[in-house]
Structure 1
Amino acid sequence: MCGITARVGDDDAVDTLLTGLANLEYRGYDSAGLAMENGDGLEVYKREGDLSSLRDAIDAERAEGHIGIGHTRWSTHGAPTNENAHPHTDCTNQVAVVHNGIIENHATLREELTARGHTFTSETDTEVVPHVMEEFLEEGASVESAFRDTISMLSGSFAVAVLVEETGELYATRKGSPLVLGVGENEYFLASDAPAFLEFTDQVVYLEDGDVVRASAEDHHITDANGDPVDRPVQSIDWSPEDAEKGGYDHYMKKEIHEQPTALAQTVRGRVEDGHTGATFEAFSRGEFSDVKQVQFLACGTSYHAALYAQQLLAQRGVPAQVFRAGEYATNPAPLGDDTLVVGVTQSGETADTLGSLRHASDAGARTLAVTNVVGSTAARECDDAVFIRAGPEIGVAATKTFSSQVATLGLLAEQIARDREEANHEEYTSGQSAFLEGVSTLSENVQWLLEGNDVENLVDRYRDADAYFFIGRGVMHPVAKEGALKFKEITYEHAEGFAAGELKHGPLALVTPDTPVFALFSGENDEKTLNNVKEVQARGAPVIGVTATDASEVVDTVDDVLEIPPTHPALAGVAANVQLQLISYHMADRLNRAIDKPRNLAKSVTVE
């Protein structure tokens, strides 16, 4: 995710701001920038790529100023370029803005502002903010009133920090995106995460949604959305800067597991129509997939399991779909037609096998679509279309939040494809998917519920000395079983396998012993069949851990241990179940003292074939 930093004080802010940006590098970024008030107006410096490029530009200009804002950008709207880097300014160059999150109504605002004569220089959603504020200032509003009025016009999730020429003050607010205030001696800081300024102060104020901050070198004021003063306590942080990079978590993987509610909210926001009547993507108009007769997915690793999940969702909607391992597709291609949509699922957008297979499909005349996390990635650039999962950067090698966001994105894509096909055939869209879309809208809350209370650590202690670990599931739970086993073996180095529940008796049952715990996943559909498989392994002495909804009494009564997931649409139960399996893998690896964030022999992005 992007990183915000800001500072106001009596002395020069440049080095402090650059240090803040460097301290936020762990969040991931593709460009960076600063805006400063130097006594003669605002100076803005922006560079794509590594932070060193920005530092060189600032050093060359001998830039200085006692107040400024900075940003490290992870692209969501527009490629990683100098123009798209933050901060963004208005037409008069008097207002500079940095922003995290997504402004959902930016396209409408941009169109209206352009019609009134504003000129835009980037592709970002952020740039509408300084232009809207410019208009309020020109109408005579105070800076604070103009800021409040501007924020009131924005839809979405965001943290925003603003610097206005000659005011000597910073203004900021948050709505669904983190922002903290640092309190120093004759200086104040703003940042997405406290690590940005921990070298300068350990005194912080945690802002709440709707809070508006006004900070100068002498003082700070916090008011709520109505303009009424609020008291937010100043608290001390006892983290070291190194620890704080992980937000207080021992490992990036654990941090990223716990970021999934935020990642899912970002993934889904703006993509479910009011009343849960359909799915919508900004990049696609209604009917975009009306001529699609079949879908082929290309992916590797965790992305392959997300594609298997999507295949199940399309099958439920009557859409033929196949999943291919990208490393095999180019040398053993499947038949392609003009009516084939080839979807490459790749977190980084740089996976060599997936890129090679997408190029083969494109050369054969197929329409290609990238489902990725990285704006400006090779897959996003080379495919005919791209959909971004909006999960934010993922540092741990073992994918966690990106799998959840891939499944949510692909589920919504399946909805649009199915509706477009039905409407093209003059069929009324009555597939009864409003419940599914409502479930998608509550994924974030469900995962948050799960993370706030679970008994995973005690379970790990009971089963840490097993010989092997099996994961079984049916329907959408089959790819989740495979993903659970992959995560387990990746970071624990213990033997783990994932199977379709019904396949146990066709071979794998020979491996079941009292020392092979079996994780059985239940979605709420065909649970009785999976229970039969549970009884098969219990008859061989194997303990069974059921991952199931809290209201599945028959399952709870049958299995030996339970990992609860909240009741939800059966097609989405796998998302929550997968989070429980991530926690199992993480805590087992922690007990075994494994290198969790950097497991042996593995890389985050496999860019060679």
Structure 2
Amino acid sequence: MCGIVGALTGRPAAPLMLDALRRLEYRGYDSAGMATVVGDALHRRRAAGKLAELEAVLAADPLPGTSGIGHTRWATHGPPTAENAHPHVAGRVAVVHNGIIENHAELKAELKAEGVVFTSDTDTEVVAHLLDRAIRAGQTPQAAMAALMPRLTGAFAFVVLVAGEEDLLIAARRASPLAIGVGDGEAFVGSDAVALAPLTRRIVYLEDGDWAVVRRSGVQVFRDAGVPVQRREQISTVSAAMAGKGNYRHFMEKEIHEQPEAIAHTLHAVLDSGTGAATIPAPLDAATIPKITIVAAGTSYYAGLTGRYWLESLAGIATEVELASEFRDRDAVLPEGGVTIAVSQSGESLDTLMALRRAKALGQKTLAIVNVPESTIAREADGVLLTRAGPEFGVASTKATTAQLTAFCSLAVALGRKHGRLSEERAAELRRALAGVPGRVGEVLQREAQYQRVARELAHSRDVLYLGRGLSYPIALEGALKLKEITYIHAEGYAAGEMKHGPIALIDEKMPVVVLAPSDGWFEKTASNVAEVRARGGRVILLTDAAGAERLAEKDDHVMILPDVEPVVAPILYAVPVQLLAYYAAVEKGTDADQPRNLAKSVTVE
């Protein structure tokens, strides 16, 4: 989602903010801008397109000043034009904003009735005008903010810069993340700690509903009504080096190759180093759990679908998986003592956060599976199962996905052992299989040249079908999503058994069909579906192991042979080839693998 930065420093602010915005490019955006204050004057530069466009504007007309705010915008209200780019200015006030002000229409009508003229299509501009009106009426910026917060509805984060106030930023958040960086005689604001990593590691995370007065000397945090509260300063674990691509062309490529380490780190975090047993987070540490409900969106939803197979088959616990955007708004019937697991890479996905809150309101215990320990979802859940993938900058999730799968499988094994569903021998066998996954993923990556060759052909297709059964079905869905996200090729994932209930009508000699077929309990039925594809001239791209290839492959197939693994952990391994196929197809097509059009890394608006 959109990126926010703010700086109060003794150095020129514009270069610092431009560098910080570059570290937020992974969130997705389509315009950018900055404003600074010098004395009683605000100075602003904006541009549609990527940061290179803004950089050119700044080179031609540099921004003065040591205090400022910056923004990368992902269009919601109004197209991605320079006029709609942030910051928005009204009189003495400049504002950058993430999220949506839901009641902006009525606020705009109120202001228009007073003669206010709007210069953009955005909901953000009402914030600037309301604050400017209050300041012109004699209120201090702090008093104006205290009065404004209760009037705004929606999910948002914003930072305010005021002419004549070179030592002041006002920051606010409601359901959209915002972090404040504390330096030596400096202060910074960012959408997340990644933006601030080279500037400071001392971070104050605002809680939902907080707003803050930020000065070089320190931070004061308040609730909606202006009541002061204390927020703990933390030392961020995010480093500036984490934002680099190294020798890779794209962050996505780099993050695909970081998966052995991400999976291993996640395993080390969830497995006891002495016994090897997985740790069960507090809300799940009960003798009986009547039902687990998993809520998630996008790729995390597919990880949740895989988790359902594991939780039911290994732990014997009834499990449902819900799209967070649907769950949050429907009248779900949940049992007393049930557990809701919220899954999110960023821990800030708005639909998932709201689904978590809905579950809590319905009396459920809650667990977060997230990659960011300081995130809102992590803070609001009763317990946290932390993945250790490190920051992920590519919009299309890769290492965070396999880390989520690793966490789910480890959790299911632990619960299965605790509830007597698994013997200690079988549990130990599965833990050994999990421990071997990083090495097997490394073997897949050593063979990536073959995926590159097949992807060149895939890149010129109009439609692609992905098929899988059982544990492979969610990975088929994930493979189709990856291809759609970064190549813009239409792709669909199906349970292989559903192919003959409709999708078979689409299959002809122009239709590539990617089949996930590890040698597991579903293999024979998958093989029959492959025969049906061949009978209709479909081009088979087969992902299987050596035994599966011997039994199923034919000379006209593209066959990618994966290492042998315990079938239970195969989804973690098979997620990697579908990532590679999508990535190299994007490279072949020349699309932006890191920042695909219309997409954002963390969706923090509805």
- Superposition TM-score tier, normalisation by shorter sequence: 0.5 to 0.7
Structure 1 segments (4+ residues) deviating >6 Å: 22-25, 48-52, 121-126
Candidates 432, 438, 442, aligned match of 1:438: 432
Q: Is residue 537 of structure 2 the alignment partner of residue 541 of structure 1? A: yes
User: Matched residues in 2 for 1:74 and 1:333: separation?
Assistant: 44
Q: Per the alignment, do residues 277 and 58 of structure 1 end up closer, same or farther by CA in structure 2, a change over 3 Å counting? A: closer
User: Matched residues in 2 for 1:362 and 1:50: separation?
Assistant: 25
SS of the equivalent of 1:548 reads strand
SS of the equivalent of 1:316 reads helix
- Residue in structure 1 matched with residue 489 of structure 2 by the alignment: 494
User: Matched residues in 1 for 2:585 and 2:296: separation?
Assistant: 27
User: Matched residues in 2 for 1:49 and 1:464: separation?
Assistant: 38
User: Matched residues in 2 for 1:333 and 1:595: separation?
Assistant: 40
TM-score by length of 1: 0.61
- Residue in structure 2 matched with residue 57 of structure 1 by the alignment: 186
| Matched positions, count | 407
- Residue in structure 1 matched with residue 404 of structure 2 by the alignment: 406
User: Matched residues in 2 for 1:355 and 1:74: separation?
Assistant: 28
- Residue in structure 2 matched with residue 575 of structure 1 by the alignment: 572
Candidates 520, 523, 526, aligned match of 1:527: 523
The one-letter amino acid paired with 1:391 is: A
Please tell me whether the aligned partners of residues 183 and 199 of structure 2 are also in contact (alpha carbons under 8 angstroms). Answer: no
Q: Per the alignment, do residues 74 and 531 of structure 1 end up closer, same or farther by CA in structure 2, a change over 3 Å counting? A: farther
Matches within 5 A, 1:163-562: 193=241, 245-273=244-272, 278-280=277-279, 283-284=281-282, 288-317=285-314, 318-422=316-420, 429-430=423-424, 432-454=426-448, 455-525=450-520, 526-552=522-548, 553-557=550-554, 560-562=557-559
- Residue in structure 1 matched with residue 599 of structure 2 by the alignment: 602
User: Matched residues in 1 for 2:470 and 2:197: separation?
Assistant: 43
Q: Per the alignment, do residues 293 and 468 of structure 1 end up closer, same or farther by CA in structure 2, a change over 3 Å counting? A: same
Please tell me whether the aligned partners of residues 548 and 555 of structure 1 are also in contact (alpha carbons under 8 angstroms). Answer: no
User: Matched residues in 2 for 1:594 and 1:53: separation?
Assistant: 38
Deviations 1:312-337 (A, max 9, x none): 11121222101001111122243212
The one-letter amino acid paired with 2:262 is: A
User: Matched residues in 1 for 2:180 and 2:602: separation?
Assistant: 21
User: Matched residues in 1 for 2:413 and 2:233: separation?
Assistant: 31
Please tell me whether the aligned partners of residues 180 and 204 of structure 2 are also in contact (alpha carbons under 8 angstroms). Answer: no
Please tell me whether the aligned partners of residues 293 and 340 of structure 2 are also in contact (alpha carbons under 8 angstroms). Answer: yes
The one-letter amino acid paired with 2:442 is: Q
User: Matched residues in 2 for 1:399 and 1:428: separation?
Assistant: 32
Q: Per the alignment, do residues 58 and 497 of structure 1 end up closer, same or farther by CA in structure 2, a change over 3 Å counting? A: closer
- Please report the RMSD computed on the Cα atoms of aligned residues, expressed in angstroms: 3.5
Please tell me whether the aligned partners of residues 289 and 417 of structure 1 are also in contact (alpha carbons under 8 angstroms). Answer: no
SS of the equivalent of 1:432 reads helix
Please tell me whether the aligned partners of residues 204 and 234 of structure 2 are also in contact (alpha carbons under 8 angstroms). Answer: no
User: Matched residues in 1 for 2:556 and 2:525: separation?
Assistant: 14
User: Matched residues in 1 for 2:254 and 2:592: separation?
Assistant: 15
User: Matched residues in 2 for 1:357 and 1:58: separation?
Assistant: 34
Shift of 1:54: 2.6
Q: Per the alignment, do residues 258 and 292 of structure 1 end up closer, same or farther by CA in structure 2, a change over 3 Å counting? A: same
Shift of 1:608: 1.3
User: Matched residues in 2 for 1:453 and 1:486: separation?
Assistant: 23
Please tell me whether the aligned partners of residues 300 and 325 of structure 1 are also in contact (alpha carbons under 8 angstroms). Answer: yes
Deviations 1:284-303 (A, max 9, x none): 49x81323121110010000
Deviations 1:13-34 (A, max 9, x none): x99xx99xx79984999xxxxx
The one-letter amino acid paired with 1:449 is: E
User: Matched residues in 1 for 2:555 and 2:427: separation?
Assistant: 31
User: Matched residues in 1 for 2:432 and 2:353: separation?
Assistant: 34
Q: Per the alignment, do residues 320 and 488 of structure 1 end up closer, same or farther by CA in structure 2, a change over 3 Å counting? A: same
The one-letter amino acid paired with 1:433 is: A
SS of the equivalent of 2:466 reads strand
User: Matched residues in 2 for 1:350 and 1:56: separation?
Assistant: 30
SS of the equivalent of 1:442 reads helix
User: Matched residues in 1 for 2:244 and 2:180: separation?
Assistant: 17
The one-letter amino acid paired with 1:405 is: A
Structure 1, unaligned runs of 5 or more: 1-13, 30-47, 60-69, 83-120, 127-158, 160-190, 196-243
Q: Per the alignment, do residues 502 and 558 of structure 1 end up closer, same or farther by CA in structure 2, a change over 3 Å counting? A: farther
SS of the equivalent of 2:367 reads strand
Q: Per the alignment, do residues 438 and 394 of structure 1 end up closer, same or farther by CA in structure 2, a change over 3 Å counting? A: same
Shift of 1:482: 0.1
Shift of 1:123: 8.1
User: Matched residues in 2 for 1:431 and 1:122: separation?
Assistant: 45
Q: Per the alignment, do residues 262 and 569 of structure 1 end up closer, same or farther by CA in structure 2, a change over 3 Å counting? A: same
The one-letter amino acid paired with 2:400 is: T
Shift of 1:431: 7.2
SS of the equivalent of 1:395 reads coil
